[in-house]
Amino acid sequence: MHEVRPGQSVELLKALHILTREGKMNQDSRRKLKQVYHLFQFIEPLLRQALQERADFSLVDHGAGKSYLGFILYDLFFKSEAPQARVFGIESRDELVQRSRDLARRLGFERMEFLDLSVADSIASARLPERVEVVTALHACNTATDDAIRFALAKKARFIVLVPCCQAEVAAALRANKGRALRAPLAELWRHPIHTREFGSHVTNVLRCLQLEAHGYQVKVTELVGWEHSMKNELIIASQQHMPGGRAARRLEEILVSLGLEGLRERFFTPGGTD
């Protein structure tokens, strides 16, 4: 049985539709709360480590949407455990930014800030710290996850937490190069359209992991919640360990060439990898 933890904001849980308007719990809200705690158990150790290294650390939630993740993390951790740390939500849709600002003001979450910025602008913006310790992207669709990775690498993030979603670009490239690729027996893995979509999604995340490893990160891949809730629950956690990245970079290049994905090289190769 999952119940609201002491000190949690009931008003926030209502706003996120985890609790009913009356503040009650039903079967659906218990399921949602279980997912919240499951996600938090992965991120909390990273936040504690970041806090140990720097009291005024920053977390940036990229492609924040309604800032569901940022609000939950602030409520469960930043509010009481990290009084000097800050949470930033980056979202390009102004109406969602305004809604999040209003909710943070209503809740008294003073160390939350929401910015209407593109990826390129967020990397260069003076409104964000030069160094960001934690970068998250929850269900950032298609290339939005890669935008978050690019931002995290530019900011030299200590930890990166990603839950990718709706990946179509690699699958489209696989379809475009199917004639060439089918000369190899392994291309049977994505010959049928449904397999192209599934294989493209899998390859996308494999390439992302190799990209992070090429930049010295130690990468762990697991599932966020049980498959009964969603098929889009692959969780990628990267911790900067300054490990040699040459082998990962070579593997990344070999996969791009063997699958006919050279046109996506710029997306997955970011300058500054480790040898």
Residue-wise pLDDT tens digits, 235-251 = 999 999 999 999 999 99
Residue-wise pLDDT tens digits, 26-42 = 777 777 777 778 889 99
Q: Are 91 and 60 in contact (CB under 8 A)?
A: no
Q: Which of 24-33, 57-66, 87-96, 121-130 has the lowest mean pLDDT?
A: 24-33
User: Residue 142 — pLDDT band, cuts 50, 70, 90?
Assistant: low
Q: Which domains does the chain have, with CATH numbers?
A: 1-164 (3.40.50.150), 167-216+243-269 (no CATH)
- Backbone angle region of 272, left / alpha / beta, with phi > 0 → left and psi within -120 to 50 → alpha: left
How far is C-alpha 172 from the geometric centre of its chain's CA atoms?
22
Mean pLDDT (whole number) for 40-52: 96
Task: Quote the pTM value.
Answer: 0.91
> What's the pLDDT at 1?
41
